[in-house]
Structure 1
Amino acid sequence: MASEGFLHPVAPVARPDETALRATVERLAVIERAPCSPGEREAAHLVADRLRALGAAASVEEVPAYGSYARPVGALTGLATAAGLAGGRWRAFGAVAGAVATAALVDEISYGRQLARKVLSRRRTACNVVAELGDTAARRTLVVMAHHDAAPSGAVFDQTLPRRLVRRFPEVAERMTENPPMWWPVVAGPALVALGSAAGRPSLRRAGVAVGALTTAAMIDIAARRAVPGANDNLSGVAALVALAESFKRRPPQGLRVILFSAGAEEALQEGVRGFARRHFPDLARDRTWFLNLDTVGSGNLVLLDGEGPLRMEPYDAAFGDLVARCAAEQGVAVLRGLRSRSSTDGVVPRRHGYPTACVVSVDGDRLIPHYHLPTDLPEHVDYGCVADAVQVAESVARALAAGR
């Protein structure tokens, strides 16, 4: 349905001012915006104020949320590691504890009920920005998403080795269609402890202990770090939302309601968008609402993801993806397709709820995200031409949907 009615090319849309994009990023990057922090709240109110100044009906919505994935994940892998160390004497304990930790980890990182964080963490508050503009009486709705919180860093995010491998084996990197599954070892450690203990295989159990210990150390490291500036991830997306509001103020889309949504606590594994879903999805018809997620769009080369998922790959809506790709082509914007992500973004939440969803990200010439979750994710390292491309694509999609019959 997403491409029905898009029978004619959309007129070229105005390219946003890159200086204005940079100004948005620079204004917010100086605020430390860890999930559920006072900085996240401050950034949310600044974004909402800016959107209101551009004519949008914008508000900050506070939603219950948890501020970290590292603490519950580290606790579970630590439990499995301890059980594995004791599993030589008490095999049943090792098997049960390893299995429980494995199941809880799958639930925690795969958009499940996330029971572990409810038990192990204190519930806090995330701040979402929700702004409405366009034709508020229209039957069709486009939700353009980003997030304004920023991730903590960690040694595990160092890119020295991945870049060496990419440059040593460029032909392999060129054939890769998805990034390495960083979450698989997290689950593998407890699973090996469970299997090794249950089967009486000390080698498997010891391997699980080793992997689990490394994972636990990595999570402790992440939990102890401060938030990075997050200029590309994801103030580039926030800057795109502001630029869209500026363009729609000059030329409002007729026949389309537009919601600009900037989530809080995305870096705690999609906490903010879950709150948005609980509050707003009952009022958004699945057959007349589309979600376009803009996440980390300042790396140099835009990518329209075919799917994503930390453990199980989940495809995005093909018809809506085709519409996004066609809009990009008609605006003269190059967009890579055929790639999938083993990371997680907010886009998977509306996709899980049955909405046509597309996710636009970006990579550099090595097909990596530069400065990802590193203190060097600074405004001067953002490719603002790439951000401007993302804005053009998003606006073209909005006007295509507005023109649909």
Structure 2
Amino acid sequence: MDDDHHDGLKAALEQTVRSLAGIPRLPASRGEAHAAELIRRRFEAAGCTVRVDPEPAYHSYAQPIGLLCAAGAAAGLLAGRGGTWRAAGALVGSAAAWGIVDDITGGRLLARRMLMRPRTTQNVIAETGDPKADRTLVVLVHHDAAPSGVVFEQHLEHWLAARHPEVIEKMTSNPPMWWPVIAGPALVGLGSALRIAALRRLGVWTSVLSAAALADIATRPAVPGANDNLSGIAVAIAVAEALAADPVQGIRVRFVSAGAEEALQQGILGFARRHFGRLAPDRTWFLNLDTVGSGRLVLLEGEGPVRMHDYDASFKALVADCADQAGVTVLRGLRSRNSTDGSVPQRHGYPTATLVSVDSGKLLPNYHLYTDIPDNVDYTCVAGAVRLTEAVARRLA
């Protein structure tokens, strides 16, 4: 790619990010719907066939999980009275811990069903490529933005990276942030059942802290979400434009911009219910792009908030080979203790790969912070994701 073309691509990517970053895009909100409409127009301008699917979605993970933590704390306090209260503490604490696991792993979402009313999110689905092909590449992104919270402050991470870079260099995944949240009610249940007061009290305090942190998140406005995930939106639109200028044969390319990802994959779960039955797992691939403007692209090996689940090895190898051929450097060997939209097709048996990015210190800068603005996006990194995504589409074709 010559310098003029590269500079033009970066300018176009930045324009896309800036055009959307000023819209508050909390999951299943009016702002999210407005952004979906603008994205629909951009894909139509790129020559794609486009539809917008409204899907029922619960707008927050923080509210139901926070209430489960509060229930665990209350149960632990009451269990201190002994007698039948102790049995109730064991039951409620265990049930709350199970409910949290069910929610964050995309299970039956029983807590949300009982505690919340669904709203509506918007999935933008654009298609290009060969309409007669029986194989499909799904390029998956999301257009909503997260609320912030005290737990996302990065002072400790920056201190550790500055003082002990050797520790960061050895890390192959981020800390499991959800484990303490699960542990609080679980310790209440275990301590109550075993009559170990210290264990129960530890569970109470852990649950209280988790509930407070989640209440903080639940009341915050949206961050600008320039990197997370307008960088992915910009890549998808740029690839659609490239495939319109130089079409591919032998494969359909479907761009799915999902809503409510920041409420733990609500939009893509709706897409799964509506569309997975018509997408054959042996002829469909999912390439998930989430936060690709931090500086260094990462091809994740796997992800999972509770248990780690590795992505399809053969598709990861294909993506890595495409990166080599396209001259795009991707970092390997990293896994995520969070979850992205890519976890949903992965659970359904589709070959899936996820591209994210980190900075020079292997950290994710401005994650869920109000500093996630267009000025802090590395557009050279985003341009690399464009080249790689287009290369994957042409390889599969």
With structure 1 as the length reference, what TM-score do the two structures score? Answer: 0.95
- Hey, what does 1:6 align to over in structure 2? none
- Hey, what does 2:280 align to over in structure 1? 285
- Hey, what does 1:36 align to over in structure 2? 28
Is 2:108 the counterpart of 1:113?
Answer: yes
Q: Tell me, which stretches of 5 or more residues in structure 1 are unaligned?
A: 1-12
Separation in structure 2 between the aligned mates of residue 149 and residue 102 of structure 1, nearest angstrom: 28
- Hey, what does 1:85 align to over in structure 2? 77
Is 2:156 the counterpart of 1:164?
Answer: no
- Of 208, 212, 217, which aligns to 2:212? 217
Q: Deviations over 1:324-361 (max 9, x none)?
A: 00000111111001100001100010000000000000
- Hey, what does 1:305 align to over in structure 2? 300
Separation in structure 2 between the aligned mates of residue 16 and residue 219 of structure 1, nearest angstrom: 42
- Hey, what does 1:258 align to over in structure 2? 253
Separation in structure 2 between the aligned mates of residue 124 and residue 44 of structure 1, nearest angstrom: 15
- Hey, what does 1:76 align to over in structure 2? 68
Q: Deviations over 1:6-60 (max 9, x none)?
A: xxxxxxx989710000000000000000000000000001001110011000121
- Hey, what does 2:19 align to over in structure 1? 27
Separation in structure 1 between the aligned mates of residue 90 and residue 354 of structure 2, nearest angstrom: 39
Amino acid at match of 2:126: A
- Hey, what does 1:246 align to over in structure 2? 241
Separation in structure 2 between the aligned mates of residue 117 and residue 229 of structure 1, nearest angstrom: 26
Amino acid at match of 1:390: A
Mapping of residues 130-279 of structure 1, within 5 Å: 130-279=125-274
Q: Deviations over 1:187-242 (max 9, x none)?
A: 00000000111111010001001110000000100000000000000000000011
Amino acid at match of 2:33: R
C-alpha displacement at 1:322, in angstroms? 0.3
- Hey, what does 1:48 align to over in structure 2? 40
Q: Deviations over 1:119-159 (max 9, x none)?
A: 11111001000001110111211000100000000000000
Q: What SS does structure 1 have at the residue aligned with 2:281?
A: coil
With structure 2 as the length reference, what TM-score do the two structures score? Answer: 0.97
Say what the alpha-carbon RMSD is for the aligned residues.
Answer: 1.1
Does the CA contact (< 8 Å) of 1:152 and 1:227 recur in 2?
yes
Q: Deviations over 1:343-398 (max 9, x none)?
A: 11000100000000000000011211110000110000000000000010000000
C-alpha displacement at 1:166, in angstroms? 2.1
Structure ranking higher in helix proportion = 2
Q: Deviations over 1:217-276 (max 9, x none)?
A: 001000000000000000000000110111011001111100011000000000000011
Separation in structure 2 between the aligned mates of residue 166 and residue 209 of structure 1, nearest angstrom: 32
Q: Deviations over 1:36-95 (max 9, x none)?
A: 000000000100111001100012110011000000000000000011111111211110
Q: What SS does structure 2 have at the residue aligned with 1:298?
A: coil
Does the CA contact (< 8 Å) of 1:130 and 1:259 recur in 2?
yes
- Hey, what does 1:104 align to over in structure 2? 99
Separation in structure 2 between the aligned mates of residue 231 and residue 129 of structure 1, nearest angstrom: 18
Is 2:96 the counterpart of 1:95?
Answer: no
